[in-house]
Amino acid sequence: MSTKPGEGKESPQQQQQGGQQQQQQSGEGQQYGEGNYKATRDYNRGLKEHVEHHDIEKEARDAAPRNAAEEKEMEDAERIARGRSKAGNESPDAPENQDDVTK
């Protein structure tokens, strides 16, 4: 049995496709459901670190409007942003329906 040159060898493109198929079959590198679990864990760790090591109340005071004009500007920006959202003027924290409200 003789083989011709190049027979039995995969091209780099075929090797890459085979690797992708294997990765897909094993579920490696995929995210399940809505969201990225690693990103959520990283965010939660960073948030916890920030809350533990920073003066949150001072940051809130520093972010507050310094005068009436700045307060109006912030309110206008929030109103414009809410108008662009799917929900309209509702707060982003508002439940979508009564089932979302925990009792």
Q: Six-digit token pair at 102?
A: 């925990």
Give CA angle at 69 (67, 74), nearest 5°. 95
The ranges assigned to domains in the chain are 34-89
Q: State residue 101's pLDDT score.
A: 61
Q: Six-digit token pair at 19?
A: 């690797």
Q: Which amino acid is at 98?
A: Q
Q: Does residue 78 surpass a pLDDT of 90? A: yes
Q: State residue 16's pLDDT score.
A: 62
Which residue's structure tokens are 């920006």? 77
Q: State residue 74's pLDDT score.
A: 96
